[in-house]
Amino acid sequence: MAKKICIYGAGAIGGHLAARLIATGGHDVSIIARGAHLAAIRDNGIFLRAGDDVIGGRPHLATDDPTALPEQDIVLVTLKAPSLPEIAKPLARLLGARGIATFLMNGIPWWWNFGAGCDEPLPLLDPEGALWREVGGHRALGGVVNSSNQVIAPGVILNTGGNRWMIGEPDGSPSARANAVVDLLSRTGLNAKVSKDIRGDIWRKIFVNISSNPFAALTRLPSRDAAEVHGLDEIAIKAIDEAMTVAAAMGRDLRSEIDPEKIVRPAGGRSAGRSSMLQDVDAGRALEVDGIVGQVREFGRVRGVPTPVLDVVLPLLRGLDRSLRMTRDNANGASSGALP
């Protein structure tokens, strides 16, 4: 039976999904995007380049106005954490009474406390509690994406490696809706699986992100070039150690499973790709500071776990994020340069 599916934010990850879903067919796939990317999708469609293959096509509807869409069966949210609070109400309307919201993003998600014995929003990620109030953790599925993608031109996504997508309930329970999303993604050729411990899988991805994204953003170097900077690897390894200690204090002790040195110094060497946070710096976009670093540090502070490396990295990233926002505001004609 055909479903109404919305990709909310068709950047690198969202565009990858949209192209595969459209190419597979059988459903009404709509896209919420903006700017030149949206214009290209409306004119030509959206396409994914993966190796020698190019797939994609035209969506059912492409718009920058969520109210132009009817209620959806599945909404795949691929916006980054800083953009989520402002879409709380339009997302809730899209979900209606029975829609499924799957959040495919880096870092600690806004719904983290749902069902975890602390039923209140995380102020760093949901400052006014809009997502908690309007969407609610009960309507959220978690997602972890291990796939490298980049928007190389408006309407064109390049996949440079990785194809592992984990979907799971916040409480780790089996569910028909998680199975439905995994089945949908699997039919497009993605390696999608149901996670029995989505929080554990999120931590595993954070260990990778926290050792690469912040340092790529601050140095503006791709991973392979950053690896040649003396001492940077040691700092990245310490950042993973701190995050793993925080995770252990929160009930996910993965230290016997994960070797930080193998993450930072993989056997095959680092890729020449540009991390997602470096791509955001290149484009002058807001950075996922609190999802990847800030909330991990806050978890550590509350539990008395020292995080000396993250204590330094976090304000540097926040300063970089502020600089990018001020530059963007000035380019848009803002006179004060104040943060939005």
Per-residue pLDDT of the chain in tens (340 residues, 90 and over written 9): 789 999 999 899 999 999 999 999 999 999 999 999 999 999 999 999 999 999 999 999 999 999 999 999 999 999 999 999 999 999 999 999 999 999 999 999 999 999 887 889 999 999 999 999 999 999 999 999 999 999 999 999 999 888 999 999 988 888 999 999 999 999 999 999 999 999 999 999 999 999 999 999 999 998 889 888 999 999 999 999 999 999 999 999 999 999 999 999 988 787 777 889 999 999 999 999 999 999 999 999 999 999 999 999 999 999 999 999 999 888 887 444 443 3
Closest CA to 109 of 133, 86, 132: 132
Query: CB-based burial of residue 60 (10 Å sphere; 0-12 exposed, 13-18 middle, 19+ buried)?
Result: middle
Instruction: Supply the pLDDT for residue 340.
Output: 34
Instruction: Supply the pLDDT for residue 162.
Output: 86
Query: For the packed helices 308-331 and 198-219, what is the interaxial angle rounded to 10 degrees?
Result: 60
Q: Taking the domain 4-196, which CATH number applies?
A: 3.40.50.720
Instruction: Supply the pLDDT for residue 336.
Output: 43
Instruction: Supply the pLDDT for residue 28.
Output: 98
Instruction: Supply the pLDDT for residue 157.
Output: 97
Report DSSP letters for 84-120, one per residue: SGGGHHHHHHHHTTT-EEEEE-SSS-TTTTTTTT--S
**What is the dihedral sign for C-alpha 99, 106, 162, 217?**
positive
**By 3-state DSSP, what share of the chain in percent is helix, strand and coil, each rounded to 5?**
45, 20, 35
Instruction: Supply the pLDDT for residue 335.
Output: 40
Neighbouring residues of 225: CB distance < 8 A, sequence distance ≥ 6: none
List alpha helices for 165-231, DSSP H: 176-186, 198-219, 223-226
What topology is assigned to 200-331 in CATH? N-(1-d-carboxylethyl)-l-norvaline Dehydrogenase; domain 2 (1.10.1040)
The bridge status of strand 74-77 relative to strand 100-104 is parallel
Domain ranges of the chain: 4-196, 200-331
pTM for the whole structure: 0.93
What residues are labeled active site?
205
> In this structure, how many other beta carbons lie within 10 angstroms of the beta carbon of residue 234?
12
Instruction: Supply the pLDDT for residue 272.
Output: 74
